[in-house]
Structure 1
C-alpha cells in the first residue's frame, strides 16, 4: 500500500453567498451552513442565475471523513486554486489563509485540528472582490473574475514526514555536432513539509526512474535534511528519448521518503528530456532551429462552467488547439496542473504567466512582493512540466516606462533563482514605439502583441518589425498576439481571416521571428467584455465561439499553421495519383518525423492505404504515386495526414476532375 493517500473532495459541498458580510460576525465556520445548497467542486457562482455579477464573499462547507486509523498521520488539504482570497477552518478553528493570488495552488496542514474517527467540519470562505493589492489589480484584466473553489480540492494523507514538492531537472546530453548521444542527467531537490522532521534527522530517499512503465534506474541514499530540503544526486540515464511537441516522451520519477526504515511518503512526478535555447535570433528545440505557429486560448469561457471547467472541458479545447496545427501557446494567468499534464502528454509548448495585466501603469516596489508570491507559487508547483518553455512576468504594463523596465529586471532576477533553465519574458504592446527602451528587452525572448491596423493604428508593418529586429539583433522575436477584436473593430470573421493571412505572410519574411501566437482560439468571457451580459459578457476575438463551435477562421488557422503543403496531380496515364509533400521552410518550420498518411478509395475502410512518410527536414519534399481504381477517379480519394501523436495535419478528398481543373487554371 502506498504511504500517500490522495482523496478528491468533489461531491456534496454546501454553498451560500454572504452579500451582507455577516458570516464572520455570526461565526458560520462553527456549524453547517444554513440556507445553503449542494454544489460540486470545482465550482464558481458567477455562472449561476442571479449571481453572474456577484463580487463578494461566499462560503463553502464539507463533512470531512477522517478514519480513526489515520490518527498519527500527517493530513493536508490541497486547493488547486480558489479565486481569490480564501480562509479555511476545520472544526471551527482557522487552519490557514491564502490571499492575493486566485490561480495558484496552496496546501494547508490540518493535522493538529483533525479528529480521526469523529465528525470533521471543513469550512472555506472565498472573496472575489476587486483588490488594490492582489494580482490582477483592481478591475484591470481581460478575462473573467469568477469566484469560488474554481479548481479541485483534495485531502493528502502521509506518514509523519512528507514531501511538499519536488523540482527535478532533466538535461539531455548532446555531442558537439549537435546530435543527441542518447544520454541524459537527472538531478534536483525535494522540499519537505515543515512539520514531522528535524533538521539533524537522517532520512533515506529512494529514487526510481521509469519509462513506459519499466524501471530504468534506481538510486537509494541517506541524506541529511538541510533547510527542509533533500537533494537528488546526479543520475545518468542511457538511451534517452527526447521530449518534443511531436514526440512527447515522458519519464516517471518515483520518490519515496523513508524514516526509521519505514515509508513515510511517496510522490511521482513526470519529466521530459528536452532543451530549448537560442542562438542569436534563432530558437532551438533540441538543437534544431524551429519557427513555430500557435494560438492563445482563454480558458474559463464556457457560459455553463466558467472558471470551474472540468478536465473534459479543458481537454476539448486543447484538442482544438492541436487540431489547428498549433504547437505553442501562452496563458495570461496560472493554470491547473491537469491542463499542463495534458500538454506534457500530447505535445504543446506553454508560456505560463503571472496575471500582471496593464495595471498598475508603472509597477513599483510596493507590488513586488505580491508578484514574487505569484511567481514562486507558479514555478515551484509547475517546475517539472516539460511543456512549459517559459515563465511570463507581465503583459502590457507600460513597457516604455523606465520604472517598468527596472521592475521587470528585478522580478526576472527573482524568477531566475527559482528556475534558471527556462526563458523568462515580459510581453509588450509598446515595443513598436521605441524598441530599445522597452521592457520586453529585459526578457530572454522579445514578445510583442501586434495590433497594427486596429488598436495600434495604421503603421508600416515592415518598417516596425525591422526597427525591433535592429534594436535586438541577438534575440528571437515572438509575436505573442495578433488578431481582431470585435465589436471594438468591425469586419467580422472575414476580416479576422484577412489579418491572419496578411500578417502571417509578412512575418514569414523576417528570419528573426521565431514564433507566432494568434489571438485567440475562442471568443472569451471577460468582465470587461463589450458584447453580451452576465455570464455571456464576452470579447469576440476568437476562431470559435464561447461554446467551441468553429468559425471559418478556425479552418484558415489550421491551414496556415500546417507544417506541410500537398500538391496533387494525376499521373500521365491517369491511373495513379502523384503526391508531392512539401515541408514549409518559413513559418512554421521544423522537421517532420514519424508522420503518416491514409488514403481511402471507394468509400470503404477495406481499401484504406496506409503510408509511412519518411523523415523530412524543413524545405524538403517527398514524392509518391498511388495507383487508384477507376471509380476513385470520379468519386475521389479521401486522404488524411497525421502527426506521431495522432493529431490530424490535413485532410480532404481528391477528385480527378477537380485536380484537372486546377491544373488547367494554373497553366492559363
Structure 2
C-alpha cells in the first residue's frame, strides 16, 4: 500500500511539472472511491462529511448505485469519499474540481467543510473552486453526498419521466490546476459564406476571475486531422461586458458535413509575465444550418435526413455510468445505419458529443422536461434556465448540435404557451446560431396552435396506430390535420416506434409499422427529417418489462446489449441514400451495377462515395463513384470480380451504406 501511494504521488509530481509548461493540468479523480447508501439519513448527524464509516465499500467512479445488488430500486441519499494529494509547489495555483455529472443533487465537502451544492440538474457539468480549502502537500478528503430522490423541484420531474433514475457520481471527476487568469470557457462561432466557403470566427472568452479587465492571449487554429496550422495570433484583449471578444479571419474553410465531418481545433493560451497561465483546446466545425420555408438547408443544400434516437443509461451492467466503449458502439452503429440526425431526451456525456462531431451526426440536445409538469413554477423555470445555461456553456462548440430542445410531449392549455416563449427567448440569448425547438405528440390536434409551432422547427412524435388512433392506416388523415395548419413551414418527425409490451406484435410488427410510416413521411416533402425511436431497448423506472436494473421498455432495433434485431437491417435499408436499381452479370467476372441517389427520405448529395468488391484473389478493389445529386443515377462496371462475391457502397469514411447481396 505504501509503495502504491508513493507511485501515485510521483505521478502527480510529473503531471504538475507538465502543467508548468502548458498552463493547465487536468488530474483525473476517477477510479476507487468509498461509497455507502444512507436511507435513514444518518450521515448528516454522524458527520460523514468528515469521513465515511468503516462499513463503506469501494466502488469505481463513474458509478451509479442503481446497478448494485440490493440497490437497484433505491431512490434516496448516498455518500462518496476520495482522498487525494496536491504537491506543495502548487500552493499558489488555481484549483477547481470539475464534476461532469452527479445525479441529481450533490453537496460537496472538502476536509470536513461544505463548499458547494449543485441541485436539480443531474446531467450537467459543474465546478467547485477549492483553491483556498486544499492543503498542499497533505492528504485532502473529498466527500460528496448525492440524492436521486424523486423530486418536484427537479427536472426530470417527480416520477414523470420515461427513463432510469440512476443516482451517483455518474460521470468523470477531475481536478483542474491553472495559473491566473484562468479560462471559464471559449466559444467560437463560425460565420460562413457558402458561396466561396470562406469564414470568419467570432471568439468569446470568459474568465473565472471577474476583476481582470485585460488579457494577453495566444490563439492557434489547426486542422484537427492533419494538425496543419490555419492561423496563429497573439492578441491583447480588453473586457467588453462580462467577457472578451475578437474576430478571426479563417480564409477558405473545409465545411463540416455528416458525410465529411471535418474538424478544426482552437487553442487559447493566456499569458501572465510571459508565462502560460492557462490553456484550453476545443474542437469545432464550420457548417451552416437554416430553415427556408418548408426546407432545411445544410451548407446551402436542401436536405431531408433519416435519423434514430439512442436512450443512454440502458446497459444493465453500467446504467448511467456508461463507459466510453458503450458510447463508441452507439456512434459506430449510427453510422452503420446511415443515421444523419438524432436527439437525446437529456444532457449526455460530452464524450458522446465528441463522437458525433467526429463521425458526423446532427443532434438536437434537450433538457429533461418530459410530459410533466404542464406548467413550470417559477422555481422550475429557473431550474430549466440553469440547465440550459450549463448545457450551452459546455456544448456550444460542438458542430453536431443543430438545435436545443425545450420540452418533450408537455401538454398544457393556452396559458402554457408563454413559458415556451420565455424559454425560447432565453435560449436564443445564450445562442443565436442554433434552432430552439419544442417537441409535441399532439401536433395534429392543436395544429398551428400547438406548442411545437412556437419552436423554430415544428415537430411531431408521430405514433398513429399505437398511442394515438386505432390503426396505422389512419396516418394520412392525421397528416391532413397537421397540413391544415402548418402553412409554409417544415416538419421534423421526432419519434415513432413500437413500445413493447404495451403494444403486441414483436419485431415483425415493428418492421411493418416502421416501413409503413417511413414511406408516409417520404411522400411529404415538407418533412425534412425523421428520428425513429429507438436504437435500443431501454432501462426505465416506468418500464413494463423486467425488474430491478433490467426494468425496461422493449422499443429498440437492438436489445439492451446491442444485439441486433431484424428491424435493425430494415431501418438501414430505408435510411440508405443509395438504391441499387439493377445488377447485371456481363460475364463470370464482370458485373454492371445501376445506382440511384434517392430523392425523398433521405435526400442529399453524395460525394466521394466508393464501391468496393473482392477480386479473384479476394483482395478488395475500390472505385470512386461520381457525385450524385438527389434523383441522379449512375452505372458502374465492376471488373475482375470474384464470381461468388458481392459489393458494398461506402461513405468516404468507409461506413457501409448498402450491400449486394443485401446483408442481414
**Alignment correspondent of 1:185:** 200
Shift of 1:366: 4.0
**Alignment correspondent of 1:647:** 655
**Alignment correspondent of 2:327:** 314
Shift of 1:572: 5.4
Distance 2:649 2:244 in 1: 47
Equivalent of residue 73 in structure 2, options 53, 56, 65: 53
Deviations 1:546-569 (A, max 9, x none): 111000001101111100011333
Q: Segments of 4+ in structure 1 off by > 4 A? A: 571-575
**Alignment correspondent of 2:436:** 424
Which stretches in structure 2 are left out of the alignment for 5+ residues? 1-20
Distance 1:375 1:403 in 2: 22
384-393 or 464-473: which moved more?
A: 464-473
Distance 1:230 1:137 in 2: 37
Are 1:91 and 2:106 counterparts? no
**Alignment correspondent of 1:353:** 366
Equivalent of residue 198 in structure 1, options 198, 211, 215: 211
Equivalent of residue 274 in structure 1, options 277, 287, 291: 287
Shift of 1:601: 3.8
> What count of residue pairs does the alignment treat as equivalent?
639
Are 1:110 and 2:110 counterparts? no
Residue 107 of structure 2 aligns to a residue whose secondary structure is strand
Shift of 1:647: 1.4
Residue 517 of structure 1 aligns to a residue whose secondary structure is strand
Residue 82 of structure 2 aligns to a residue whose secondary structure is strand
Q: Do the aligned partners of 2:81 and 2:144 also contact (CA within 8 Å) in 1?
A: yes
Q: Residues 123 and 615 from structure 1, CA distance in 2 versus in 1: closer, same or farther, beyond 3 angstroms?
A: same
Which stretches in structure 1 are left out of the alignment for 5+ residues? 176-180, 656-668
Deviations 1:248-268 (A, max 9, x none): 111111101123333210001
Are 1:505 and 2:525 counterparts? no
Residue 573 of structure 2 aligns to a residue whose secondary structure is helix
Residue 646 of structure 2 aligns to a residue whose secondary structure is strand
Are 1:467 and 2:481 counterparts? yes
**Alignment correspondent of 1:210:** 222
Equivalent of residue 447 in structure 1, options 448, 459, 462: 459
**Alignment correspondent of 2:26:** 6
**CA RMSD for the aligned pairs?**
1.6
Are 1:561 and 2:561 counterparts? no
**Alignment correspondent of 1:490:** 504
Deviations 1:29-79 (A, max 9, x none): 113542111111110000011000111111111111111111100000101
TM-score (norm. length: structure 2): 0.94
**Alignment correspondent of 2:6:** none
Distance 1:358 1:587 in 2: 29
Shift of 1:354: 0.3
TM-score (norm. length: structure 1): 0.93
Q: Residues 126 and 576 from structure 1, CA distance in 2 versus in 1: closer, same or farther, beyond 3 angstroms?
A: same
Deviations 1:204-243 (A, max 9, x none): 1221111131221122222223554221x11111220000
619-628 or 528-537: which moved more?
A: 619-628
Q: Do the aligned partners of 2:445 and 2:481 also contact (CA within 8 Å) in 1?
A: no
Equivalent of residue 248 in structure 2, options 210, 215, 235: 235
Shift of 1:26: 0.9
**Alignment correspondent of 1:374:** 387
636-645 or 183-192: which moved more?
A: 636-645
510-519 or 213-222: which moved more?
A: 213-222
Taking the TM superposition and a 5 Å limit, the aligned residue runs for 1:368-407 are: 368-398=381-411, 401-407=413-419
Shift of 1:574: 6.2
Shift of 1:174: 2.4
Distance 2:662 2:334 in 1: 26
Distance 1:364 1:488 in 2: 32
Distance 1:27 1:114 in 2: 19
**Alignment correspondent of 1:339:** 352
Shift of 1:403: 2.5
Q: Residues 654 and 234 from structure 1, CA distance in 2 versus in 1: closer, same or farther, beyond 3 angstroms?
A: closer
Distance 1:187 1:573 in 2: 59
Distance 2:293 2:128 in 1: 45
90-99 or 521-530: which moved more?
A: 90-99
**Alignment correspondent of 2:624:** 612
Distance 1:227 1:435 in 2: 42
Q: Do the aligned partners of 1:397 and 1:404 also contact (CA within 8 Å) in 2?
A: no
Shift of 1:318: 1.8
Q: Residues 222 and 575 from structure 1, CA distance in 2 versus in 1: closer, same or farther, beyond 3 angstroms?
A: closer
Q: Residues 583 and 20 from structure 1, CA distance in 2 versus in 1: closer, same or farther, beyond 3 angstroms?
A: same
Distance 2:208 2:84 in 1: 22
Residue 217 of structure 2 aligns to a residue whose secondary structure is strand
Q: Do the aligned partners of 1:447 and 1:477 also contact (CA within 8 Å) in 2?
A: yes
**Alignment correspondent of 1:534:** 548
Are 1:127 and 2:147 counterparts? yes
Are 1:577 and 2:597 counterparts? no
Q: Do the aligned partners of 1:163 and 1:191 also contact (CA within 8 Å) in 2?
A: yes
Q: Do the aligned partners of 1:637 and 1:654 also contact (CA within 8 Å) in 2?
A: no
Q: Do the aligned partners of 2:102 and 2:170 also contact (CA within 8 Å) in 1?
A: yes
